[in-house]
Amino acid sequence: MKDITVQELKQKMDNNEDFTFIDVREPVEYQQFNLGAKLIPLGQLLQNLDELESSKDKELVVHCRSGKRSATAKSMLEEKGYTQVRNLIGGVLEWIAVIK
């Protein structure tokens, strides 16, 4: 599925659209600044797939600091059968630069 820009994500959030939102950064990064996504660090993602089972066929947006870890997370989830995974392009850094 096509990745998502910060503008598209902001619009989805403002419209209260139904999607699953995952932050794959580390807890210390999440504490410093977060977008309100559920924190599941990349290294723990596969062990926590049960938490995402209800989102297997729904839109699932993943993000990290710059978009690299979340791109890896997107690939991992797609390999496990998740069909509508989108990576936040530019991650938190892009969000801060454009939205905040």
- By annotation, the residues acting in catalysis are 64
Q: Average pLDDT for residues 79-97, to the nearest whole number?
A: 96
Residues 6 or more apart whose Cβ sits within 8 Å of residue 33: 92, 96
Query: What pLDDT is stored for residue 89 in this prediction?
Result: 97
Inform me whether the pLDDT recorded for 100 exceeds 90.
Answer: no
Question: What domains can be seen in the chain, in order of their start residue?
Answer: 6-98 (3.40.250.10)
pLDDT in tens, 15-59: 999 999 999 999 999 999 999 999 999 999 999 999 999 989 899
Residue 84 binned pLDDT confidence (cut-offs 50, 70, 90): very high
